[in-house]
């Protein structure tokens, strides 16, 4: 390997190393799961993680995902956590589901199905869905504002809108495009943890039940934004190409000079 080739190879290595260590911008994107796809939430391109301590697994059949826990101690919940998320300034969660049945040891605290969000460390809220009742949590994990609406006779479309990421930001629940419940994000590390999170299913050990889901989506999936890195790579590569051509031209001129042409 001549000196020119060696130096150029070293330059290319520097380019690659620089790009690997260059911090990627991350933007929030929408991730959609639909039972009609024939895939469970853990099987889609941006997969959810499943925590399942029940004796059975989630069942996907005829376009419906059934989450069935038979004991209070059993969990069956899908979630996205931490690096998989990039919270936008106004997170939105949409889902379609039906509550089939539920039982709980603490009727005013938990139900057999829930959808929750942690927007930043220790900050979030959860909507619990029972039979003909929904409610948010308040400080200390106790039941907050509630509403009596149909949840079990048919599938309903729900939407959770969050107007900010910090404690005290408004959070609203819509059913079939009608506002049914409003509250705020709460600071509570015990219930919301230290990292961003979005989940659905049975996440409590004091209730159990059967819930059926046909879709779930949110706009907080982390997607690398390549623009900055591509610009950097392009600039470095152009510099490298220019450098190589300059060196090559100089080498030709030097050889021509030596040969007397």
CATH value at residue 45: 2.60.120.200
Percent of the chain at pLDDT > 70 equals 76
Q: Establish if 152 belongs to a structural domain.
A: yes
Q: Which domain holds residue 139?
A: 25-224
With 0.85 as the threshold, say if the pTM is over it. Answer: no
Query: Is 8 among the domain residues?
Result: no
> What is the model's pLDDT at position 71?
96
On whether residue 3 sits in a domain, the answer given is no
Number of domains in the chain: 1
pLDDT of residue 253: 45
Low-confidence ranges of the chain (pLDDT < 70): 1-26, 225-261
pLDDT of residue 13: 43
113: in domain: yes
Q: Which of 116, 117, 113, 80 is nearest to 98 (CA)?
A: 113
- Is the residue at 41 inside a domain? yes
CA distance 258 to 250: 12
Which residues are CB-neighbours of 235 under 8 A, at least 6 positions away?
none
What is the chain's alpha carbon radius of gyration, rounded to the nearest angstrom?
27
Q: Is residue 207 part of a domain?
A: yes
pLDDT at 8: 47
What's the per-residue H, E or C state across the chain?
A: CCHHHHHHHHHHHHHHHHHHHCCCEEEEEEEEEEHHHCCCHHHCCCCCEEEECCCCCCEEECCEEEEEECCCCCCEEEEEEHHHECCCCCCEEEEEEEEEEEEECCCCCCCCEEEEEEEECCEEEEEEECCCCEEEECHHHCEEEEECCCCCCCCEEEEEEECCCCCCCEEEEEECCEEEEEEECEECHHHHCCCCEEEEEECCCCEEEEEEEEEEEEEEEEEEECHHHHHHHHHHHHHHHHHHHHHHHHHHHHHHHHHCC
- Does residue 128 form part of some domain? yes
Classify residue 101: in a domain, yes or no: yes
pLDDT for position 47: 97
Give pLDDT, residue 130. Answer: 96
Pairing outcome for strands 197-202 and 76-81: antiparallel
């Amino acid at each position: 390997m001549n000196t020119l080739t060696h130096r150029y190879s070293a330059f290319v290595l520097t380019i690659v190393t620089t790009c690997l260590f260059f911090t990627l911008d991350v933007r929030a994107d929408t991730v959609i799961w639909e039972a009609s796809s024939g895939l469970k939430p853990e099987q889609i391109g941006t997969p959810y993680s499943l925590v399942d301590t029940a004796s059975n697994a989630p069942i996907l059949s005829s376009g419906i995902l059934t989450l069935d826990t038979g004991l209070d101690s059993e969990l069956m919940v899908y979630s996205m956590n931490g690096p998989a998320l990039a919270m936008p300034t106004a997170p939105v969660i949409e889902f379609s589901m039906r509550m089939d049945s539920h039982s709980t040891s603490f009727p005013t605290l938990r139900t057999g199905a829930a959808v929750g969000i942690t927007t930043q460390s220790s900050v979030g809220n959860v909507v619990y869905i029972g039979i003909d009742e929904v409610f948010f949590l308040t400080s200390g994990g106790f039941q907050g504002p509630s509403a009596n609406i149909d949840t079990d006779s048919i599938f309903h479309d729900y939407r959770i809108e969050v107007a900010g990421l910090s404690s005290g930001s408004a959070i609203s629940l819509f059913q079939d495009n009608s506002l049914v419940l409003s509250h705020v994000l709460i600071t509570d590390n015990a219930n919301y943890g230290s990292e961003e999170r979005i989940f659905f299913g049975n996440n409590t050990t004091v209730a159990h039940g059967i819930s059926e889901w046909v879709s779930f989506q949110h706009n907080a999936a982390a997607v690398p934004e390549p623009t900055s890195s591509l610009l950097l790579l392009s600039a470095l590569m152009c510099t490298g190409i220019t450098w190589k051509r300059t060196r090559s031209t100089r080498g030709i001129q030097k050889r021509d000079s030596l040969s007397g042409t």
